[in-house]
């Protein structure tokens, strides 16, 4: 008969299974893709209603970037802390 001993301390609760660096890179790629999709949608609306692309570009640069930054702020902050606090593997 074998016995499975529990892991020491609170190790399982403190151990993260995600790679914060990869997750941050994925968020950056997703934000770029979302910005592109939103800009395409706004370009179609601008063309339909005769609005200049400069107006769309300004809105995307200001509002869309800020909005996506707000949406991902907490998650990015958490992942950055995980990345910075990760133990060095030698």
What pTM did the predictor assign? 0.72
The C-alpha atoms of residue 81 and residue 60 are separated, in whole angstroms, by 29
Q: Tell me what pLDDT residue 8 has.
A: 66
- Determine phi and psi for 19, rounding to 5 degrees: -95, 105
CA 29 to chain centre: 8
The C-alpha atoms of residue 61 and residue 48 are separated, in whole angstroms, by 21
Q: Residue 16: pLDDT above 80?
A: no
Q: Tell me what pLDDT residue 34 has.
A: 96
pLDDT per residue as tens digits for the range 39-89: 999 999 999 999 999 999 998 888 999 999 999 999 999 999 999 987 766
Q: Tell me what pLDDT residue 29 has.
A: 97
**Mean per-residue pLDDT, 24-31:** 97
Task: Look at the chain and count its residues.
Answer: 90
Q: Tell me what pLDDT residue 52 has.
A: 93
């Amino acid at each position: 008969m074998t016995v499975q001993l529990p892991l020491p301390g609170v190790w399982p609760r403190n151990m993260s299974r995600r790679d914060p660096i990869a997750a941050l890179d994925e968020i950056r790629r997703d934000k770029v893709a979302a910005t592109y999709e939103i800009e395409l949608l706004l370009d179609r609306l601008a063309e339909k209603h005769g609005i200049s692309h400069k107006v769309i570009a300004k809105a995307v640069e200001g509002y869309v970037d800020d909005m996506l930054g707000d949406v991902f702020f907490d998650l990015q902050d958490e992942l950055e802390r995980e990345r910075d606090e990760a133990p060095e593997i030698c």
